[in-house]
A and B are shown apart, each in its own frame.
Chain A
């Protein structure tokens, strides 16, 4: 009997120890998994994917439009083995297009996609890059004097014609003064083509319409809004239709119209889109917008580059589509956005 008791006592202790041991081992295994995950995260931070080509994507402005274009280009480059870098974005200082070009040349990249301008120094640098064996292409804005191999962007005449058509669509019979606000970065040739496109559209239907242009000096970012405000303050009763060619212009004109109670005094035809532009469109402040397909632009630019890198030549010009955004479209998009937000909130809850 004593023997049995002793045996049970030892068995119970051994059992308890074993159970504790198993629990502890399970807990340790869990800890080990967490530690492994943390260390894996550390290791993954140091792992990269290798590419074959390095392409510098150089633009002079930072906007949602360019973000979309760059993101599209980056994604399109992956299957081709082309790493598209938003050149200079990782630097803590801002650099001019020319500086970025110099850097890209010095960094010996394989290709450069640049939002060009008509400056001579830029042309020189672009040519220097081409001489260094770098595939240089222009995007959105072209530099026809450079040795770039291709341009991917809009046709200014066609876009101008679209602006003119929209102006006519929303104009009353009495509306006759059309003001086109031009960006100072716009090259003269491009501006001329754009304005001629608008003029052509207006002339086709309304020969009485008067077309004026205003070139803003946007060397200082804050001057754009001030210049527009000053202009509208003096000319809102003399202007029937205002055509904005950039997003900043569109937002500024709309805001000023609301602030100064000019809504209805003139028709606003805008460019590009973001959430506030959609709001202005849906509330009728802006009559219509011309939106360039930024994603398509980035994608086509990379497709051209891939073709050029593979075959040594590609299309000299790839046109990017533009479409019209009106009040009904804006309301539909806003509703869709709202539904999406609600569903995400619901999921989050």
Chain B
């Protein structure tokens, strides 16, 4: 399950992200509108202030005219009104002067302002002198002062007039520049608005893409799963929002389904294997049965005949004959009822006892049979006819043709989780080469002669393997020729219990 983060906002819930997009674009648009308004307002303010200097100069001229008129009036009639007006306009004029440049500068306008400022100071000084002289009734002095003041007044009028003209020309040029600038700002504002709109669109596309892309991936993956393709590439979990939760749940679901399918597949396979094994086992059993049927006459007929023979021997008081025939009858009865099923181990051992006693009649008691059972074998179920073939093999190939006393020993004991059944003889044994051939399956150590009951050791081995689903449950060992043979059968205890 891929899990990656593509956005710092991926942990935010879905609705919050949508709100964030709308808020961001709205705020950007608002900020842009404010900026554009500020721009336009600033330009308008600049345009408004362009002709301020002309207005100020006009006011200055008017104030100067009024001031000079009042000086003349006071000098002529010495009225209180004119004196008050004089002081009023003088103050007004001084206030207006304070806005003028009075530093040395190389700009024409600045230089003119400085000259106006200084000539005005001289004018005001001489005007004051004239007023004071009038008060003192010094006619000559105030006349001279007034004439000088008039000269200065004329200079000032000319200067202010000329400066006003120059300022007007300069301001007109500035006005044109600012007008062009304002038009450009208007155009720029339109362009900025378009740019802002484009930026918002871009932002929305990016955000929408970010939100819908995982959804589309999830939809595509769902379609594939719906079509039965469970090997689909799982969509990555790119966010911690609701979509991320759904994607994660989907991925988990797909993985669970995949695991479940795997489990079902493996159980089907195991079942199939078990069926095959069972089939094979049945095949071997059928093979054994076939051999059995081929090798003898009708067992029921034989069994009934033997019972009749036993009764006859009893009537004739032939005890040994009776016992022999009875053993034969038991042996065949056992073979009849339990060849295709499992039996108690005890029954298997009893079958061996019967078989040996029958064979001792044939061989005139030459077979010395011993058995040693060192553990509790009650209730252990084993496949039928697994020990008798080994004993038969010991008789037929081991002790039958020896001159010395033939011995067969059956041992049953428990070792860890197994019950070991040993069939040991002191017969002719098996050379190591032949033993090798037997183990590798090149030579079947099974006789099919007329003395055999038809069930060979190879069959026993295969049935054991199939019954317990394990290898190495049957083994033949010999230390060499004339050293006897040992057949070992291993019965797994757990398997036995299970069965």
Q: Does A231 sit at the interface, judged by CB under 8 A? A: no
Q: Which residues of A contact B101 (CB under 8 A)?
A: 48
A108 to B104, CA, bound (A): 11
Q: Which residues of B contact A35 (CB under 8 A)?
A: 181, 184-185, 188
Choose among B152, B163, B181 the residue that contacts A106 (Cβ–Cβ < 8 A): B152
**A53 lies within 8 A of B104 (CB):** yes
A51 to B152, CA, bound (A): 25
**B209 lies within 8 A of A51 (CB):** no
Which stretch of A9-17, A222-230, A294-302, A319-327 is in the interface?
A: A9-17
User: Which residues from 108 to 137 on chain A have a C-beta closer than 8 Å to any C-beta of chain B?
Assistant: 108-110
**B205 lies within 8 A of A14 (CB):** yes
Choose among B107, B177, B198 the residue that contacts A24 (Cβ–Cβ < 8 A): B198
Q: Which residues of A contact B105 (CB under 8 A)?
A: 48-51, 83
Choose among A39, A91, A95 the residue that contacts B181 (Cβ–Cβ < 8 A): A39
Q: Does A92 sit at the interface, judged by CB under 8 A? A: yes
A10 to B199, CA, bound (A): 15
**A85 lies within 8 A of B155 (CB):** no
Q: Which residues of B contact A2 (CB under 8 A)?
A: 220
Q: Which residues of A contact B468 (CB under 8 A)?
A: none
**A-B pairs under 8 A by CB, number:** 128
**B108 lies within 8 A of A31 (CB):** no
A149 to B204, CA, bound (A): 81
Q: Which residues of A contact B194 (CB under 8 A)?
A: 24
Beyond A38-B177, A90-B166, list 19 extra A-B contacts (CB 8 Å).
A6-B216, A10-B208, A17-B198, A18-B202, A20-B198, A24-B194, A27-B191, A31-B187, A38-B184, A50-B104, A90-B162, A90-B163, A91-B159, A92-B162, A93-B162, A102-B151, A107-B115, A107-B122, A108-B122
Q: Does A21 sit at the interface, judged by CB under 8 A? A: yes
Q: Which residues of B contact A219 (CB under 8 A)?
A: none
Q: Does A144 sit at the interface, judged by CB under 8 A? A: no
Q: Does A3 sit at the interface, judged by CB under 8 A? A: yes
Give B219 Cβ to nearest chain A Cβ, in Å: 7
Residue of B whose beta carbon sits closest to that of A89: B108
Residue of A whose beta carbon sits closest to that of B198: A21
Provided the pairs A17-B198, A54-B104, A107-B118 are in contact, do residues A34 and B219 lie with their beta carbons within 8 angstroms?
Answer: no
User: Which residues from 257 to 300 on chain A have a C-beta closer than 8 Å to any C-beta of chain B?
Assistant: none
**A38 lies within 8 A of B181 (CB):** yes
**B104 lies within 8 A of A83 (CB):** yes
**B111 lies within 8 A of A28 (CB):** no
**A3 lies within 8 A of B188 (CB):** no
A107 to B112, CA, bound (A): 10
Give A7 Cβ to nearest chain B Cβ, in Å: 7
Q: Does A45 sit at the interface, judged by CB under 8 A? A: yes
A10 to B202, CA, bound (A): 10
User: Which residues from 95 to 126 on chain B have a C-beta closer than 8 Å to any C-beta of chain A?
Assistant: 101, 103-108, 110-112, 114-115, 118-119, 121-123
Q: Which residues of A contact B114 (CB under 8 A)?
A: 54, 107
A34 to B221, CA, bound (A): 55
**B195 lies within 8 A of A24 (CB):** yes
Q: Which residues of B contact A28 (CB under 8 A)?
A: 188, 191-192, 195
Interchain residue pairs A-B with the least CB separation, the first 9? A48-B105, A51-B104, A106-B122, A108-B118, A48-B107, A107-B115, A38-B181, A106-B119, A24-B195
Residue of A whose beta carbon sits closest to that of B39: A35
**A3 lies within 8 A of B104 (CB):** no
Residue of A whose beta carbon sits closest to that of B220: A3
Could you list some 22 contacts between A and B, CB below 8 A? A3-B219, A10-B209, A11-B209, A20-B198, A21-B199, A21-B202, A24-B198, A28-B188, A35-B184, A38-B180, A49-B106, A49-B107, A51-B104, A51-B105, A90-B108, A90-B112, A90-B163, A90-B166, A92-B158, A103-B155, A105-B122, A106-B155
Residue of A whose beta carbon sits closest to that of B177: A38
A99 to B205, CA, bound (A): 77
Q: Does A52 sit at the interface, judged by CB under 8 A? A: yes
Interface flags for B196-233 (1: CB within 8 Å of A; 0: not) read 00110110011011000100110110000000000000
A39 to B185, CA, bound (A): 11
Interface flags for B116-159 (1: CB within 8 Å of A; 0: not) read 00110111000000000000000000000000000110010011
Choose among A13, A21, A91 the residue that contacts B162 (Cβ–Cβ < 8 A): A91
A20 to B177, CA, bound (A): 30
Q: Does A25 sit at the interface, judged by CB under 8 A? A: yes
Q: Which residues of A contact B180 (CB under 8 A)?
A: 38
Q: Which residues of B contact A27 (CB under 8 A)?
A: 191
Q: Does A41 sit at the interface, judged by CB under 8 A? A: yes
**B158 lies within 8 A of A91 (CB):** yes
Q: Does A170 sit at the interface, judged by CB under 8 A? A: no
Q: Chain B interface residue count: which class?
A: 35 or more
Q: Which residues of A contact B199 (CB under 8 A)?
A: 21
Q: Which residues of B contact A38 (CB under 8 A)?
A: 177-178, 180-181, 184
Give A133 Cβ to nearest chain B Cβ, in Å: 13
A217 to B489, CA, bound (A): 164
A54 to B243, CA, bound (A): 80
Q: Does B170 sit at the interface, judged by CB under 8 A? A: yes
Q: Which residues of A contact B58 (CB under 8 A)?
A: none
Q: Does A42 sit at the interface, judged by CB under 8 A? A: yes
**A107 lies within 8 A of B104 (CB):** no
Give B102 Cβ to nearest chain A Cβ, in Å: 10
Q: Which residues of A contact B115 (CB under 8 A)?
A: 103, 107
**A42 lies within 8 A of B104 (CB):** no
Q: Which residues of A contact B112 (CB under 8 A)?
A: 90
Give B472 Cβ to nearest chain A Cβ, in Å: 59
User: Which residues from 67 to 119 on chain A have a C-beta closer than 8 Å to any C-beta of chain B?
Assistant: 83, 85, 90-93, 95, 99, 102-103, 105-110
**B161 lies within 8 A of A92 (CB):** yes
A185 to B314, CA, bound (A): 195
Provided the pairs A2-B220, A42-B178, A92-B161 are in contact, do residues A48 and B205 lie with their beta carbons within 8 angstroms?
Answer: no
Q: Which residues of A contact B217 (CB under 8 A)?
A: 3
Residue of B whose beta carbon sits closest to that of A38: B181
Q: Which residues of B contact A50 (CB under 8 A)?
A: 103-105
Q: Does B91 sit at the interface, judged by CB under 8 A? A: no
Residue of A whose beta carbon sits closest to that of B53: A46
Q: Which residues of B contact A85 (CB under 8 A)?
A: 111
A48 to B101, CA, bound (A): 11
Q: Which residues of B contact A24 (CB under 8 A)?
A: 191, 194-195, 198
A107 to B199, CA, bound (A): 61
Q: Does B46 sit at the interface, judged by CB under 8 A? A: yes
Q: Which residues of B contact A25 (CB under 8 A)?
A: 195
Q: Does B417 sit at the interface, judged by CB under 8 A? A: no
Q: Which residues of A contact B192 (CB under 8 A)?
A: 28
Q: Does B448 sit at the interface, judged by CB under 8 A? A: no
Residue of A whose beta carbon sits closest to that of B208: A10
Provided the pairs A24-B194, A38-B184 are in contact, do residues A107 and B106 lie with their beta carbons within 8 angstroms?
Answer: no
**A107 lies within 8 A of B119 (CB):** yes
Give B36 Cβ to nearest chain A Cβ, in Å: 12
Q: Does B165 sit at the interface, judged by CB under 8 A? A: yes
Give A187 Cβ to nearest chain B Cβ, in Å: 26
Q: Which residues of A contact B187 (CB under 8 A)?
A: 31
Give A95 Cβ to nearest chain B Cβ, in Å: 8
Q: Which residues of B contact A21 (CB under 8 A)?
A: 195, 198-199, 202
A113 to B394, CA, bound (A): 157
Choose among A7, A31, A48, A106 the residue that contacts B118 (Cβ–Cβ < 8 A): A106
User: Which residues from 59 to 107 on chain B have a C-beta closer than 8 Å to any C-beta of chain A?
Assistant: 101, 103-107
Give B96 Cβ to nearest chain A Cβ, in Å: 17
Provided the pairs A24-B195, A51-B105 are in contact, do residues A42 and B155 lie with their beta carbons within 8 angstroms?
Answer: no
Give A252 Cβ to nearest chain B Cβ, in Å: 32
A20 to B200, CA, bound (A): 13
Choose among B155, B163, B185 the residue that contacts A102 (Cβ–Cβ < 8 A): B155
